[in-house]
């Protein structure tokens, strides 16, 4: 127990304020290496499987707007679950707040934008552009959706519940990818990146507010 605790009977603000699990530089490097490595693997696998990823990247205003619009249901779910975290949603929120929050305090908005875009590009190109495309050609669309999104869920193994939730969100992103009939990766990339940016920004703002309230800014 610190001297402040002995004198006041309350925990010191220094102990109340959680320390970052990772510093900003280390966090950005690890995230960039992981997502950048996934992008390299994706390109290699696409080449081996004869999948033309560039043909699936159709940058049009309509595709971007479709991606932005498709983000709204995901953000609504996030807002409700974050504002009223019941059951397993509470565990996910607490885990992300405790582990990511202090680190995100050290990051700039551009850091979050960069990481969100990199995650959107690398993960959608891999899970939708390569995994789903290859599995559809070899096993059919049903098996492709199931297997690719089980993998997507497992890639987000925060908890068993989060694996299931991520898998369902992967199904949604797969629908965004295919619903126009064009198999265009741009809408799910925009949707994924925008959702990640908003979610990370919310956790960052909450962590910064908590730091200011504790008087240790």
| d(C-alpha 40, C-alpha 47), whole Å | 11
Burial class (CB within 10 angstroms; exposed 0-12, middle 13-18, buried 19+) of 215:
exposed
**Residue 15: what pLDDT?**
46
**Residue 189: what pLDDT?**
97
> C-alpha distances in angstroms, 58 versus 71, 80, 93, 134?
18, 33, 35, 19
**Residue 9: what pLDDT?**
47
Please indicate, yes or no, if residue 122 is contained in any of the structural domains: yes
| d(C-alpha 137, C-alpha 178), whole Å | 14
**Residue 5: what pLDDT?**
45
**Residue 17: what pLDDT?**
55
What does the CA dihedral 75, 80, 81, 84 come to, rounded to 10 degrees? 160
Q: How many domains does the chain have?
A: 1
Task: Please give the average pLDDT of every successive group of 10 residues along the chain, which has 217 residues.
Answer: 47 52 84 94 96 93 94 95 91 88 90 95 96 93 94 90 94 91 91 96 90 66
Please indicate, yes or no, if residue 69 is contained in any of the structural domains: yes
Q: Which domain, by its residues, includes 179? A: 18-51+59-214
**Residue 181: what pLDDT?**
74
**Residue 13: what pLDDT?**
44
Q: Is the Cβ–Cβ distance between 12 and 2 less than 8 Å?
A: yes
**Residue 20: what pLDDT?**
62
Q: Read off φ and ψ for residue 215, nearest 5 degrees.
A: 75, 25
**Residue 215: what pLDDT?**
62
Q: What is the pTM of this model?
A: 0.86
Q: Residue with structure tokens 């966090």?
A: 27
**Residue 18: what pLDDT?**
59
**Residue 12: what pLDDT?**
47
């Amino acid at each position: 127990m610190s001297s402040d605790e002995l004198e006041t009977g309350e925990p010191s603000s220094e102990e109340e304020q959680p320390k970052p699990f990772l510093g900003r530089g280390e966090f950005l490097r690890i995230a960039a290496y992981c997502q950048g490595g996934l992008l390299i693997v994706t390109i290699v696998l696409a080449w081996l499987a004869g999948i033309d990823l560039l043909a699936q990247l159709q940058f049009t205003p309509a595709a971007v707007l479709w991606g932005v619009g498709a983000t709204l249901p995901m953000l609504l779910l996030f807002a409700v679950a974050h504002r009223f975290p019941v059951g397993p949603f509470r565990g996910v929120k607490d885990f992300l707040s405790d582990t990511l929050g202090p680190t995100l305090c050290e990051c700039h908005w551009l850091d979050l934008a960069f990481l969100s875009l990199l995650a959107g590009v690398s993960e959608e190109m891999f899970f939708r552009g390569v995994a789903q495309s290859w599995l559809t050609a070899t096993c059919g669309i049903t098996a492709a959706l199931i297997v690719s999104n089980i993998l997507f869920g497992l890639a987000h193994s925060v908890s068993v519940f989060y694996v299931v939730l991520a898998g369902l969100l992967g199904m949604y992103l797969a629908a965004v990818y295919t619903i126009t009939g064009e198999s265009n990766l741009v809408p799910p990339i925009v949707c994924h990146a925008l959702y990640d940016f908003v979610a990370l920004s919310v956790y960052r703002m909450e962590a910064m507010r908590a730091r200011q309230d504790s008087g240790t800014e």
